Structure 1
């Protein structure tokens, strides 16, 4: 059995520690990861991390292993972020939109305009009398989701966004179910003081 080059292991690991590794963004790294994934998993296991690899969707990322609460539990390397309620709401709405898209389209890329994303949120955000402030708030929420890695600007088209398919891995049925438990009460309030959910982000 031939020896695995050091770079074939170290480069995919470095990419994963920096964030999500997408097949379309780095085909050579992706192929390296596929060829050494067992060794990568062994290395990460020592650090209390798991490799989540979806060949069909073409992405891989790291997830913290479950903490058993014992004294020997390792420190958390991947932080959980407390999201604002509007950002949590937007993630849930985008996740549902992606599910509808997958059910009714043969395409793999969901592209939405800024206005389409804003329309998803308008129903839940108190408009008041200042449309400009509402637009600014919505743009800030969209920017946060871009920062988290779940939306991506299309090159040369600032008003067009691709919904990254990794959203399906982070926003699962359980997360949506818990979120919807207090969605109704949020819709009845202004949302100014409502808290969001925690999410282990890319």
Structure 2
């Protein structure tokens, strides 16, 4: 009697691994610290993944220093190519919170050797309070801080720390969306925001 030994097709196995990376990226940001196996596969098959994403009109962006990878909509001359990466129209309040968190992360990186910026709900509220004019609008905005945090969490820039109520990690992917030049102009942009606010705390026009 002879026995048969199941063999694994190397090409099929490799295709499966590439697919795993592609699906992970399409779902969102891939962090080295959280998805070590996917990260290893990404680095191994980077050229193939890049080619695959290019066909889909996407750019693969890998930040080795920060330890994350994500997809960005490629820029084309033709305007009739559908977008796979949606654009988010952000409200004034969400934009303000993102800017403040990005600035806080820059300060943190300049003074700490830790890689995780942890911030509480009260600290987030204080960030907002300091940068708002003295008016009843401040009370309204601070009262909505949980809603703002929820929206920023949905965008992937905050994540609640497990086992710690009202405590969040500022996700480092925020650096890819709010760059150093934007941050350098932060104060001027903030003044422009505040100058445009109407009596309800929203931009005029």
TM-score, normalised to structure 2's length?
A: 0.83
Structure ID, larger Rg: 2
Residue 27 of structure 1: how far off its partner (Å): 1.1
Go from structure 1 to structure 2 and tell me whether the alpha carbon gap of 1:36 and 1:175 turns closer, same or farther (over 3 Å shift).
Answer: same
CA deviation after TM superposition for structure 1 residue 140, in Å: 0.9
CA distance in 2, matches of 1:178, 1:20: 26
CA shift at 1:6, angstroms?
1.5
Which is strand-richer, 1 or 2? 1
User: CA-atom RMSD, angstroms?
Assistant: 2.3
Q: How many residues align?
A: 191
Residue 131 of structure 2 is aligned to residue 128 of structure 1: no
Q: CA deviation at 1:107?
A: 0.9
Instruction: List gaps (5 residues or longer) in structure 2.
Output: 1-9
Determine the structure 2 residue equivalent to 1:100.
107
In structure 1, runs of 5+ residues without a counterpart are 196-202
Q: Does 1:17 align with 2:11?
A: no
1:130 and 1:42 map into 2 onto residues whose CA distance is: 49
Shift of 1:51: 0.4
Greater relative CO (CA pairs within 8 A, separation 6+): 1
Cα deviation digits, residues 37-96 of structure 1 (max 9, x gap)? 10000111111110011122111110001132x36x522111111100111011111111
TM-score normalised by L of structure 1: 0.84
1-structure distance, mates of 2:194, 2:138 = 19
